[in-house]
Amino acid sequence: MEGRLSSVKEPLQRLLSQVEARQDELVALLERLVRFKTPAPPARNTEEAQRFIASFLQEKDFEVHMWDVYPGDPNVVGIRKGAASDQYKSLILNGHIDVAEVSDDEPWEQDPFIPFVRDGVIVGRGVSDMKGGLAGALFAIQLLHEAGIRLPGDLTFQSVIGEEVGEAGTLECCKRGFTADFAVVVDTSDLHIQGQGGVITGWITVKSRQTFHDATRKRMIHAGGGLLGASAIEKMMKVQQGLQELERHWAVMKSYPGYAPGTNTINPAVIEGGRHAAFIADECRLWITVHFYPNETYEQVTREIEEHIGYVASADLWLRENPPQFEWGGSSMIEDRGEIFPSLEVDPDHPGTRALIHAHEEIFKEQAVVDVSPTVTDGGWFGDAGIPAAIYGPGNLSNAHAVNEGLSVEQLIQFTKVILQFIYDWGHTRK
């Protein structure tokens, strides 16, 4: 057994040393990805980059699927069938090709889409979030291909669109039935193995069945007026107060290891209401953002909100007859002003997580950190689809979305080695 294992491992050791020796090629691949201008918003600009990745994968004998999620924003999924698919574990590597927007007034030293290396740091939009992760995983695939290694298990690579604007690039992959025994989202995690809480946005609408003129206000608020009517704006204040009570209750009663208490917030982000100063406000809409913990689902927390606001409304004589309406989520912050990032819980004892921990520890010779991301990624869609998953990628969140976004070359190399080792190990693991 020992002897067999080391003979299996021997080609891997050679490949790992190549990551170091060929780091210029790895950095050049990342720079190539950064030069594709793929900020979202405005989005609809990833076609060229996605074609590049599609042909990169095709050259490595992947079967490639490419389809428009939106015009100008295609998803790419490449599958390299294993030599013994039915007996060995399959893997999805997932990352988003879009990057955070760059506004004109940001004081970048240089064009953010012309990357450069200085003092061991690559600078450019998206190096940390998350073209570094994509480049490292693609380079690992290239090294395996060049060494003529075909894994026994299936390997799927997904390059998706729209993550920065809450679009369902990864959800579309799951809906099309692409699946595996384990998935790794190579998004910004500073090489921690992470789960995440979730986010869902929603609109709460208070609406009057009738529209009243401004002059009728005295009759709906004073003794003897005899008119049952209300300002939707004033009634929304009760809804807002109810949300605050629930938010505080959650902060007091719920917790999750790795998060500061009260991370589960309900943010009243945008309010729109009323039509004109000559009328009583007949409609008011509140746009909220809800953060919840990894062990909760968006279905669960939205139910809690609807239930609590339902009680608030039933204690109000007008809201009782005109109950608030809820619309949850959405498929894009650009298209329909809504998004969902499901939560992801990482099971530290899942064989996939254990293999990732092992790969990290082989390369670093120190203990891997398994914790939770303070932000959200597409990882939740895998959890939602019942595919065990973890987030693991280079770069840190202080660089993500930042001016002069940087990524250490050293960390990019380390990441590439770990993911290479992990792909190799997991693809050689029996089902």
DSSP string, 147-163: TT---SS-EEEEEES-G
Q: Which amino acid is at 115?
A: P
Report, in Å, the least distance between residue 377 CB and Zn ion: 6
State which residue, 186 or 243, has the beta carbon closest to Zn ion.
Answer: 186
The residues near 408 (Cβ < 8 Å, ≥ 6 apart) are 120, 121, 122, 394
Q: Which amino acid is at 426?
A: W
Q: Which of 31, 73, 154, 163 is catalytic?
A: 163
* Burial class of residue 166 in the structure, from the number of CB atoms within 10 Å of its CB (0-12 exposed, 13-18 middle, 19+ buried): buried
Distance CA 373, CA 214 (A): 50
CB atoms within 10 A of CB 38: 26
Report, in Å, the least distance between residue 335 CB and Zn ion: 19
Check if 24 is active-site. Answer: no
Helices (H), 194-261: 217-221, 232-253
Q: Which two tokens stand for residue 229?
A: 């009517």
**How many positions of this chain bind Zn ion (CB under 5 A)?**
3
328-366 burial code (b ≥16 CB/10 A, e <16): bbbbbbbeeebbbbbbbbbeeeeebbebbbbbbebbeee
Report, in Å, the least distance between residue 260 CB and Zn ion: 22
Residue 43, φ and ψ in degrees, nearest 5: 65, -170
Q: Taking CB under 5 A as the criterion, which residues in 130-169 touch Zn ion?
A: 130
Q: Taking the C-alpha atoms of 144, 150, 155 and 157 in order, what is their torsion angle to the nearest 10 degrees? A: 40
Triad 45, 340, 157: Cα angle to 5°: 55
Candidates 76, 123, 129, 68; CA nearest to 101 is: 129
The residues near 105 (Cβ < 8 Å, ≥ 6 apart) are none
Check if 154 is active-site. Answer: no
Told to check if 129 binds Zn ion by CB under 5 A, we report yes
Q: Taking CB under 5 A as the criterion, which residues in 335-374 touch Zn ion?
A: none
Report, in Å, the least distance between residue 416 CB and Zn ion: 18
Q: Which two tokens stand for residue 350?
A: 């899942």
Residue 225, φ and ψ in degrees, nearest 5: -65, -40
Where are the extended beta strands (E) located within 173-248? 182-185, 193-196, 198-207
**What's 327-350 look like in SS3?**
EECCCECCCCCECEECCECCCCCC
- Using CB under 5 A, which of the segments 15-23, 185-193, 304-312, 390-398 binds Zn ion? 185-193
State which residue, 98 or 181, has the beta carbon closest to Zn ion.
Answer: 98
Triad 227, 232, 234: Cα angle to 5°: 95
Report, in Å, the least distance between residue 66 CB and Zn ion: 21
- Using CB under 5 A, which of the segments 125-133, 254-262, 318-326, 341-349 binds Zn ion? 125-133
Judged by CB under 5 A, the residue of 167, 187, 384, 425 near Zn ion is 187
Report, in Å, the least distance between residue 202 CB and Zn ion: 23
- Residues in contact with Zn ion by CB under 5 A are 129-130, 187
Q: Enumerate the active-site residues.
A: 98, 163
